Amino acid sequence: MFGGLVKNGVIKLIKKNRNDKQKGGELDDMTTGEFVLSLIIIAIILLLFFYVAEKIWNELLVEKVPGIGKLDGLWDIVRLWFLSQLLFN
């Protein structure tokens, strides 16, 4: 889900840059500050995603579905996300 959203955004950005270049526009290289800012924004989005996923799992899914235990921390969510990406993509 999240990977597809990022992938589609990158593809649109690449297509837009290619169209701009074909029209005679120049592509500006990303500065170091913009690169660091992009990494920080991506990290914040991922942390928010994992936090919300852990809360949903521990507070909703554990109560509603028998046989599912609580997650101990962030790494359990990361492992589940990685496993779901391997299985379903």
Q: What is the pLDDT of residue 22?
A: 55
Q: What is the pLDDT of residue 29?
A: 64
CA 27, CA 20: separation in Å to the nearest integer? 8
pTM: 0.57
Q: What is the pLDDT of residue 44?
A: 93
Q: What is the pLDDT of residue 87?
A: 92
Question: In three state form, how does the secondary structure of 14-76 look?
Answer: HHHHHHHHHCCCCCCCCCHHHHHHHHHHHHHHHHHHHHHHHHHHHHHHHHHCCCCCCCCCHHH
Q: Which residues of the chain have pLDDT under 70?
A: 1-7, 9-11, 13-30
